[in-house]
Amino acid sequence: MAKTIILVDDEELFRGRMAKAFSQRGFTVFTARNFDEALQVINKERPTLGVIDLKMPGRSGLELIVAAKGINPDMQLVVLTGYGSIATATEAVRLGALSYLPKPADVDDILSAFAKNPDLALEVIQDEFSAPSLARAEWEHINRVLTDCEGNISLAAKKLDLHRRTLQRKLQKYPPNK
């Protein structure tokens, strides 16, 4: 079975890091920012696996599960979200997702979720995982909150309980490499 996967997430940084990590593990990776892009890729490329963000602009990840399964009933899907609840987890699995993981999830977490299906015969290598540094995790969290606030620095600073100028200084720094 060809190792093809689509990563659907509106967060560009997260999507890029995941794509790189899956590519390094031998997957052919396709990416999409939203429901419409994902449907185009699924129709054209027919990936065997999919990682779907629950909350995206426009139509949700739950709607994408239904559409993807309509195109390819054998496609295995894992749903990721930073806004988890038992109700949405249950709904995702009921609609056909193999698993539901809270963010931040790494490639090994996702592969472990896919490995629950023995037909996929995926190899999960735990020892090559290296956790992101605290600085990197902070930078990603700040950018996620800023995205949720639609770029409004004052609102993001309030949600992060930071002074606006402190947040601006943190945003001017380059992202940590690890």
Which pLDDT value is given to residue 63?
A: 93
CA–CA separation, 170 and 139 (whole Å): 8
Return the closest-CA partner of residue 144 out of 30, 37, 10: 10
What is the spatial distance between Cα 159 and Cα 137, in angstroms, rounded to a whole number?
17
pLDDT (0 to 100) of residue 128: 52
Q: Superfamily for 4-120?
A: Response regulator (3.40.50.2300)
Per-residue confidence (pLDDT) for residue 65, from 0 to 100? 93
> pTM higher than 0.75 for the full model?
no
Return the domain boundaries, the chain.
Answer: 4-120, 134-172
Contact 30, 3 (CB under 8 A): no
pLDDT for res 102: 82
- pLDDT of the residue at 118: 67
Q: Is 44 exposed, middle or buried (CB count within 10 Å of its CB: 0-12, 13-18, 19+)?
A: exposed
For 21-55, the DSSP string reads HHHHTT-EEEEESSHHHHHHHHHHH--SEEEEES-
Per-run averaged pLDDT (10 residues), the chain, 178 residues? 86 90 92 94 93 89 93 91 75 88 83 78 54 73 83 90 89 69
Could you tell me the fold of the domain covering 134-172? Arc Repressor Mutant, subunit A (1.10.10)
